[in-house]
Amino acid sequence: MNKQIDVVRKTRRAILNLISDMSTEELNQVPAGFNNNIIWNIAHLVAAQDNIFYVKSGHPLKNISQEYFDAYKPGSKPEGSVSSNEIERIKALLFSSLDHLESDFDQNLFSNYPAWTTRYGVDIESANDGLILLPFHEGLHFGYMMAQKRVIRGQKQEI
């Protein structure tokens, strides 16, 4: 198993643990000081993963529809509430999409991967570089989700 994909799986399990006691309303709430919500961040992880690997390499979206991608791509924001059924679908995609990614890596699907630079100034020159970027991106959004939950629940940040 690829180490970076394993790290992402563990991070995604931690995300599910973080939200396990949250209601649909809480997951949809945009906390003060934020321009998105927790469920948007979770769904964005899947959209970003498809973008980094499939879209960037010239393949069609693998795990999601164009409508889903457009709703959760970088620069988007929540446009309404996500139902509890859709939340469950998003949670399932967290792991099924990683299974597809791992299989596609094993089949060398990303052999013609073009170079690009992230908005963070990181040069990505291969799909393997994308796998290095993915845990960073996941951690960034996990941090946002932890902060959002604290604001939603009215908890003070521990130092």
Residue whose token pair is 């979770």: 42
| Residue 104 covered by a domain | yes
Measured in whole angstroms, how far is the alpha carbon of residue 91 from the centre of its chain?
10
CATH number of the domain that residue 32 is part of: 1.20.120.450
Residue 124's SS3 state is strand
| Residue 73 covered by a domain | yes
User: In the structure encoding, which two tokens stand for residue 1, read together?
Assistant: 């198993």
Count Cβ atoms below 10 Å from residue 105 Cβ, excluding itself: 18
Residue 152 backbone phi and psi in degrees, to 5: -60, -40
Percent of the chain residues topping a pLDDT of 90 = 92
Q: What is the spatial distance between Cα 70 and Cα 83, in angstroms, rounded to a whole number?
A: 18
Percent of the chain residues topping a pLDDT of 70 = 97
| Residue 122 covered by a domain | yes
| Residue 159 covered by a domain | no
pTM: 0.94
Per-residue pLDDT averaged across 90-101, rounded?
98
Q: Nearest Cα to 22, choosing from 6, 8, 42, 7?
A: 42
Indicate the number of domains in the chain: 1
Residue type at 78 in one-letter notation: P
Q: Supply the range of the domain harboring residue 72.
A: 3-153
| Residue 143 covered by a domain | yes
Residue whose token pair is 């999601």: 64
| Residue 14 covered by a domain | yes
| Residue 10 covered by a domain | yes
| Segment 70-87, tens digit of pLDDT | 999 999 999 999 999 999
| Residue 107 covered by a domain | yes
pLDDT of residue 39: 98
